[in-house]
Amino acid sequence: MSNSTVPTAEEQLGLFDQDGAIAALDESDLRVRVSGRARNLKIQVYPHGGVEIVAPKRARPKDIEAFVTENREWIRKTRSKFQQLRPPEPTLPDEIKLPALKETLRLHFMTAPTAKCKEQGGLLNITAPELSPEQCWPLLRDWLKKKGKQHLVSETFRLAEITGLQPARVHIRLQKTRWGSCSSSGTISLNAASLLRPAEEMRYVIVHELCHLQHMNHSRRYWKLVESFVPKYRKIEQTLDAAWQTSPRWLIG
């Protein structure tokens, strides 16, 4: 890796879009994210094989390059381990299953000047100038976020009525390794990817965050509250922790 492929920390800041997405630096699935909270360089290898380097603002390009070189063997072994766990999958999927909604959508890809994704009667039509992951995967992710807003927000307020835990706001995002979060202001953020899980797991993700409205920690009292609503929460936690290893590549690619 030459210095020319790794921008300065200031230049890397320009790689972010408004949703906090990180632009790829090259075609090798290596991404650099500049964090104002990071003190040291850190590597995150994702289940799909992508590699993210978290860098402090002060990090220099040559420091990032040296850090990656030093840890290249560890990165290779970790990616290989994840690859063995993942089933083979087509670059562009034939269908998308949404167990939480008991829906399966067939996918139809076509080339067209305008990139768009439209759902109609169990069919998801995707058009793009090129039928490539770079152009089609973002369309699928945007569609899933919209789907999440349609269903997860209403389901959250339905469960809020049952639990008596009312959020101030509900946001739908698409994160790589986090199912949800709850802020001290009462805002709950949910990952639209929970629609790809069974309904029981999707509802647990919501309840998990609702309980944080009462306990902003993972104390015994917090887990006791969770258990009062979801008695089998431990088993679901384990399943969700492992779910990222087999998430479709278009989701986290």
Cα–Cα distance, 71 to 173 (Å, whole number): 31
**Which H helix or E strand runs over 229?**
helix 220-229
Q: Whose structure tokens read 């996918």?
A: 107
pLDDT per residue over 101-155, tens digit each?
A: 999 999 999 999 999 999 998 999 999 999 999 999 999 999 999 999 999 999 9
pLDDT per residue over 208-228, tens digit each?
A: 999 999 999 999 999 999 999
pLDDT, residue 195, reads 98
Cα–Cα distance, 31 to 52 (Å, whole number): 5
* Whole-prediction pTM: 0.73
Asked whether 182 and 205 are in contact (CB, 8 A), the reply is: no
Percent of the chain with pLDDT over 90: 60
CB under 8 A, 24+ apart: contacts of 28-37: 30/68, 32/6, 32/7, 32/64, 34/9, 34/59
pLDDT per residue over 148-160, tens digit each?
A: 999 999 999 999 9
Domains and CATH numbers, the chain: 3-85 (no CATH), 95-252 (3.30.2010.10)
Q: Mean pLDDT, the chain, as a whole number?
A: 85
pLDDT per residue over 9-50, tens digit each?
A: 334 433 333 333 333 333 356 788 888 888 899 988 877 677
Cα–Cα distance, 32 to 15 (Å, whole number): 9
Cα–Cα distance, 11 to 36 (Å, whole number): 14
